[in-house]
Copies of this chain bind each other. A is one copy, B any other.
């Protein structure tokens, strides 16, 4: 492989001049620039980012660490990240932790070894260990989708509490009184924030005594199992709130298994749905998070941190959710207005 020295010889200049041309830095005369560019082409020169990063301490690489890359919510967020990063000529490394703190720590280690300039982290669990490790290795971190406590850090998320509140209010307006919530882990903020919104709506409507929250995982299987449990109790719920899209799918699968009609017998609402390109018939009433926007905004924030534009203070950005009302909330035989 040709190196910068080969190009320099070919163009009759010093290596640093070639460096200046390919990096568009410093002053270069038009004539020199052209000769260098010609030499680059002739030799098919490809700069070595390892050497570049080793010397400059900048790798122009970010990492996006999410808890479930199979979830279209995170896939869409990843698009936002990729677009914002690409616009500044940064490359993105994607990591999937499957909600495991051990995998998260392992990835943090790999990313530190690779000298990434910054990490967009969806923390698995509520711990702060990974964040502290990255910061101690001079790697900038922006927390995405979730909150963490115990460390001052930039974060970007959507308004889970308000989204949940609106969904439950909608159900209550439709006449529902027995509304069950099925969510993920207790130590994840998206879970507890959505529970808080659910609570506020219930209490506000004098339904505080009817509150019933089932904690599990943010996946279809957990939604399925917990729905079976919830439907064993009597009186049975007339509506179920799933804290994410996969839980919602599990809920509907379980209800169908019991031959319970949605929304005829039980209404269902959730956070996030699948993209329309994956849905034979859009059906679910849900709170839509601006996933792409979250990824984009978080990346722009991270890039500003990296470039030192934001020297002090930390930002906490909260983006609004949108309620999309579809078939799964009515008409309901028992409670339609």
Residues 200-239 of chain A, each 1 if its beta carbon lies under 8 Å from chain B, else 0: 0000000000000000000111000000000000000000
Whether B91 contacts A220 by the Cβ 8 Å rule is no
A302 within 8 Å of B (CB atoms): no
- Contact of A1 with B138 in the complex, beta carbons under 8 Å: yes
Point out the residue from B1, B54, B281 that lies within 8 Å of A50, measured CB to CB: B54
* Interface set, chain A 113-147, CB cutoff 8 A to B: 113-115, 136-138
| Chain copies in complex | 2
Residue of B nearest to A54 (CB): B50
Q: Are A59 and B50 in contact (CB under 8 A)?
A: yes
Alpha-carbon gap, A51 to B52, bound state (A):
10
Q: Across the interface, which residues of B come within 8 angstroms of A70, CB to CB?
A: 72, 75, 275, 277
Is A44 interfacial (CB 8 A cutoff)?
A: yes
Q: With an 8 A cutoff between CB atoms, is A53 at the interface?
A: yes
Contact A277-B246, Cβ < 8 Å, known A1-B137, A91-B110, A110-B91: yes
Question: Taking the complex as formed, is A278 at the interface, i.e. its CB lies under 8 A from any CB of chain B?
Answer: yes
Binary B-proximity of A259-286 (CB < 8 A = 1, otherwise 0): 0000000000000001111111101000
CB distance from A42 to the nearest CB of B (A): 14
Picked from B53, B137, B249, B278, the residue with its CB within 8 Å of the CB of A46 is B137
Task: From the candidates B46, B280, B283, name the one contacting A256 in the complex (CB within 8 A).
Answer: B280
Specify which of B94, B115, B220 is in contact with A49 (CB 8 Å cutoff).
Answer: B115
Whether, in the assembled complex, A320 has its beta carbon less than 8 Å from a beta carbon of chain B, the answer is no
The chain B residue sitting closest to A59, CB to CB, is B50
A49-B114, A54-B48, A115-B49 in contact; A278/B249 too (CB < 8 A)?
yes
> Interface code A47-71, partner B: CB below 8 Å = 1, 0 otherwise?
1111101100001000000000110
CA A50 to CA B281, docked complex, whole Å: 49
Q: Which residue of B lies closest to A253 (CB)?
A: B280
Question: Is there an interface contact between B46 and A277, defined as CB atoms closer than 8 Å?
Answer: no
Tell me whether A256 and B281 are in contact (CB under 8 A): yes
Of B69, B75, B82, B93, which is within 8 A of A93 by CB? B93
> A84: CB under 8 A from chain B?
no
**Interface check A109, CB cutoff 8 A:** yes
Q: Which residues of B contact A283 (CB under 8 A)?
A: 280
B residues in contact with A279, CB < 8 Å:
249
Shortest Cβ distance from A218 into chain B, in angstroms? Answer: 11
- A69–B136 CA distance with the chains assembled, in angstroms: 33
> A242: shortest Cβ distance to chain B, in Å?
12
Q: Is A112 an interface residue (CB 8 A)?
A: yes
Report if A243 contacts B (CB, 8 A): no
Given contacts A50-B114, A70-B275, A278-B278, 7 further A-B contacts (CB under 8 A): A1-B138, A46-B109, A50-B50, A51-B54, A69-B78, A220-B277, A253-B281
Nearest 4 CB-CB pairs, A to B? A220-B277, A50-B54, A49-B113, A50-B53
The 24 listed contacts between A and B (C-beta, < 8 Å) are A1-B137, A46-B137, A47-B113, A48-B54, A48-B115, A49-B113, A49-B114, A50-B50, A50-B51, A50-B53, A50-B59, A51-B54, A69-B78, A70-B72, A70-B75, A70-B275, A70-B277, A93-B93, A219-B277, A220-B277, A246-B277, A252-B280, A253-B280, A256-B281
